[in-house]
Structure 1
Amino acid sequence: MKNFKFKLLTAGIALSGLVVLIAADHLEAPAVGATTADITDLYAFEGANPDNTVFVVSVQSSLAPAGNNISFDEDVMIEINIDNDGDLIEDRVIQAVPRGDNMYFFGPGTPSNTGLNSTVLDPDSRTSVQISGIGDEFTTTDNSGISYFAGLRDDPFFFDFSQFNQVVQGPTVAPNGFNNPGTNDFANQNVLSVVVEVPNSLLGGTFAHPAGTGVQVFNVWAEAKRKQ
């Protein structure tokens, strides 16, 4: 068993099976950004099979397009946290740990402890997939119907970051606001992504949306935790 301590956290989201919800967090503060544990995006959405949910966590923003030599950090575990009862404490986790040319996945399972520190789930339950480089599409599906991917991919985040910096300085700097169309400053950049598609039956329960919409949801957030 290997212990990991908390390093970074993205924004959390509530997920129903009816909508696509994302959280993005590019270009962190200097003490956090540009590290191998920098989470750039969290995506969670209904799979092509509506009985499945797809989770995508990306790290290391703005990688060069030719960065096939860029790799996941073996000292960093990516953890997807699922809250089934609305108390904002993880009830189930999915963990991804890189070793060499492979990404090892554990869970979904009940964590032995919650919060800032994590312990890798039962190693006998692990599944691995070869890490994909540019042009590769290595995937694995285990006996429980969970599918896995890990590797380098084009950054899906679209943001006119340069114009944003002008807009926040006020109308004297950017009198016309945002451009239409804007410029995607993340074009031709890559991220390292892990993707897990999980049957909903393995994710635990749901709770009523706190806004009283009548929709059943669970909360999802992602962390990158560095080995102690």
Structure 2
Amino acid sequence: MKKTKIFLATAIAGIVTLVAIAADHIDAPAVQGGTSDITDFYAFQGENTSNIAFVANVQGLLGPGNDTQNATFDENVLIEFNIDNTGDSVEDLVIQAIPRDGKMYVFGPISPTQTGLNSTIASNAANQLSVDITAYGESAIVESSAGMMAFAGPRDDPFFMDFAQYGQIIAGNATSFNNPGADTFAGTNVLSVVVEVPKSMIGGTGTINTWVEAKRRQ
């Protein structure tokens, strides 16, 4: 139980840092307007407390209706969840998700063939599954295999930020956020990839660093 608490606290601390960096919502020049744009990353204990869930949201600011209905995962973009369970900030395990023909294929957790910016899809991983990508407005489709579960499809953007007030603070016209603030992302959607795995597949000492990357096929 003590290890579980340390594990979760470490994961959440990592999330706070990663959200601040990765929650760009299409304002990062390198990915502006691109299908590889990561809006947010979350990791948390599953409803089954023996599991941990990883969530990557991409393609933010999708309006309701046609914007979301027409949005699709890019088949040339790999979503890769990185897990460091030795404390050296280098991925020891990866979970990879890549779409193809209306399905999301998930591989891992598995040791990567190489670390860093380049990846090879682990199509021979012992742990793998595929799930139909849920269409906009439809009930969530979830598939499971060997204790893993996965979902892929549009979801309401969970990120809360009052950008108008933030702009006022940056401009020196205000010193704090309003309470309550205005949710800039209310009514907008993202494309989500959710993978839940047993903690026993993660291993390590009970503490992890975790981050997500979107990697485009070269």
Say whether the fold is shared (TM-score over 0.5).
yes
Count of aligned residue pairs for this structure pair: 201
Unaligned 5+ segments in structure 2 are: 1-5
Paired residue for 1:160? 162
Paired residue for 2:133? 131
For the pair 1:227 / 2:211, whether they are aligned, the reply is no
Paired residue for 1:104? 105
Distance 1:188 1:94 in 2: 30
Q: Among 138, 141, 146, which residue is 2:144 paired with?
A: 141
CA positional deviation for 1:162: 1.1
Looking at secondary structure, tell me which structure has more strand per residue. 1
Distance 2:69 2:11 in 1: 30
1:5-84 paired onto structure 2 within 5 Å: 16-17=7-8, 21=12, 22=15, 23-24=18-19, 25-27=23-25, 28-66=27-65, 67-84=68-85
Q: Deviations over 1:153-179 (max 9, x none)?
A: 000001001110111111xx23x6322
Q: TM-score, normalised by structure 2?
A: 0.87
Unaligned 5+ segments in structure 1 are: 1-14, 207-215
Aligned-partner SS, 2:166: helix
CA positional deviation for 1:123: 3.6
Distance 2:213 2:11 in 1: 20
CA positional deviation for 1:203: 1.1
Aligned-partner SS, 1:94: strand
CA positional deviation for 1:221: 0.6
Q: Deviations over 1:87-143 (max 9, x none)?
A: 11111100000012100001111111110100011346431101012232000011x
Which stretches of structure 1, 4 residues or more, deviate above 4 A after TM superposition?
Answer: none
Q: Are the counterparts in 2 of residues 74 and 97 from structure 1 also a CA contact under 8 Å?
A: yes
Distance 1:121 1:40 in 2: 25
Percent identity of equivalent pairs = 51
Paired residue for 1:190? 189
Distance 2:104 2:39 in 1: 19
Paired residue for 1:211? none
Letter in 2 for 1:153: R
Q: Are the counterparts in 2 of residues 19 and 45 from structure 1 also a CA contact under 8 Å?
A: no
Q: TM-score, normalised by structure 1?
A: 0.83
CA positional deviation for 1:30: 2.9
Looking at secondary structure, tell me which structure has more helix per residue. 2
